[in-house]
Amino acid sequence: PRSNPPDKNAPKRLAVRDLTVPGKVEDVSFDVASGEIVGLIGVQGSGAESVCRAIFGVEDSHSGHIEYEGRPVRVSCPSGAVGLGIGYVPAERKAEAMMKGMSVCQNMTVTFGSDYGYGGLLLSKRRERREAANWVERLKIKTPSLDHRIDQLSGGNQQKAVLSKWLLGRSLRLLVLDHPTRGLDPGARADLFNAIRRLAEEGLSIVFVGDTLDEMVTLSDTILVLRDGRLSQRFDDVQAKRPSEEDIVRAMV
């Protein structure tokens, strides 16, 4: 469990109202506070993944109302989400989130490298490497060097490197993770859980789609169960109340 749960009176970072994605999601509403971890779960076709994609602007046909940092926004494309300080790690990291054949450092700095672009190209590259090295250490990414090819790392270390490319962004406030532990062994999963908890404790808001019930209860502050595209049930104060897996399954089916 987290060492310091999110403040119940913390300001809302994200407020979603009546989110609808035709044929996938209907009238889903929820809030995410500063430093809160919200887990989404449901059987295949529940709409959980579509909620994440809509927040990041991948599902551009969605309707409803989204407020971010207290103001209404319309996120219709990923670049718009990035500009707001929203990051997204898709479920298929190798196909959608990694530049295979390129180095760990190149993968980590591809999104926000321009943040370090003042002072000339050489100086900015040094800053990029320094910041990448900082996150390699913080997330305990096991790699022989920053120049090692990312596709030669283990699955868990690949996932942490993909995660870190968003953390290099100085404006990141909300991170959306679609099945972040898929394909990871138990040790790598535990490492990723610890990294996500630390980030939330530092104030980052996180929305994720989980693969297992244990994962949901272990990591989430709030659990949202989706069924047939609708919000079926909400479990609050998860770390204190520890809902049973039976209760969650009942809401899923």
Confidence of residue 1 (pLDDT cuts 50, 70, 90): low
Q: What is the CA radius of gyration of the chain?
A: 18
Residues 177 and 243 in one domain: yes
Q: Is the pLDDT of residue 175 over 90?
A: yes
Q: Is the pLDDT of residue 249 over 90?
A: yes
Residues 66 and 17 in one domain: yes
Residues 149 and 181 in one domain: no
Q: Which of 121, 156, 171 is the last residue of a domain?
A: 171
CA 122 to chain centre: 31
Q: What is the pLDDT of residue 133?
A: 93
Residues 213 and 164 in one domain: no
pLDDT digits 0-9 by tens, 201-246: 999 999 999 989 999 999 999 999 999 999 999 999 998 899 999 9
Residue 39 lies in a domain: yes
Q: What is the pLDDT of residue 128?
A: 82
Q: Which of 151, 171, 191 is the last residue of a domain?
A: 171
Q: What is the pLDDT of residue 136?
A: 92
Residues 194 and 160 in one domain: no
Residue 1 lies in a domain: no
Residues 190 and 232 in one domain: yes
Confidence of residue 169 (pLDDT cuts 50, 70, 90): confident
Confidence of residue 119 (pLDDT cuts 50, 70, 90): very low
Residue 212 lies in a domain: yes
The CATH number of residue 191's host domain is 3.40.50.300
Return the ∠ at Cα 219 (arms to 43 and 36), rounded to 5°: 105
Residues 164 and 223 in one domain: no
Q: Which of 114, 144, 171 is the last residue of a domain?
A: 171
State the Cα–Cα distance between residues 202 and 196, nearest whole angstrom.
Answer: 10
Highest mean pLDDT among 18-27, 121-130, 134-143, 190-199: 18-27
The answer to whether the CB of 67 falls within 8 A of the CB of 14 is: yes
State the Cα–Cα distance between residues 74 and 10, nearest whole angstrom.
Answer: 23
Where do we find the tokens 């009546």? 18
Residues 201 and 247 in one domain: yes
Residue 74 lies in a domain: yes
State the Cα–Cα distance between residues 104 and 101, nearest whole angstrom.
Answer: 9
Residues 29 and 147 in one domain: no
Q: How many domains does the chain have?
A: 2
CA-to-CA separations, 17 to 29, 51, 63, 231, in angstroms, rounded: 4, 12, 9, 12
CA 78 to chain centre: 14
Q: At residue 47, what is the residue type?
A: G
Among 148, 82, 149, 78, residue whose Cα is nearest residue 115? 82
Average pLDDT of the segment spanning 85-110 = 87
Residue 76 lies in a domain: yes
Residues 140 and 17 in one domain: no
Where do we find the tokens 């529940």? 46
Residue 185 lies in a domain: yes
Residue 145 lies in a domain: yes
Residues 183 and 164 in one domain: no
Residues 76 and 178 in one domain: yes
**Segments forming the whole domain that contains residue 51:** 10-85+173-253
Confidence of residue 191 (pLDDT cuts 50, 70, 90): confident
Q: State the alpha helices, DSSP H only, in the chain.
A: 48-55, 78-84, 104-109, 121-138, 155-167, 186-201, 213-219, 238-241, 245-252
% of the chain exceeding 90 in pLDDT:
56
Confidence of residue 123 (pLDDT cuts 50, 70, 90): very low
| pTM, full prediction | 0.88
Q: At residue 68, what is the residue type?
A: Y
State the Cα–Cα distance between residues 21 and 63, nearest whole angstrom.
Answer: 7
CA-to-CA separations, 223 to 12, 37, 50, 113, 132, in angstroms, rounded: 16, 9, 16, 34, 32
- Among the ranges given (75-84, 105-114, 132-141), the one the predictor scored with the smallest mean pLDDT: 105-114
Q: What is the pLDDT of residue 120?
A: 39
Number of H helices, E strands in the chain: 9, 10
Which of the pair, 197 or 128, is modelled with greater confidence?
197
Residue 202 lies in a domain: yes
Q: What is the pLDDT of residue 31?
A: 96
Confidence of residue 110 (pLDDT cuts 50, 70, 90): confident
Average pLDDT of the segment spanning 92-118 = 76
State the Cα–Cα distance between residues 146 and 164, nearest whole angstrom.
Answer: 13
Q: Is the pLDDT of residue 2 over 60?
A: yes
Three-state DSSP at 74 gives coil
Which of the pair, 26 or 110, is modelled with greater confidence?
26
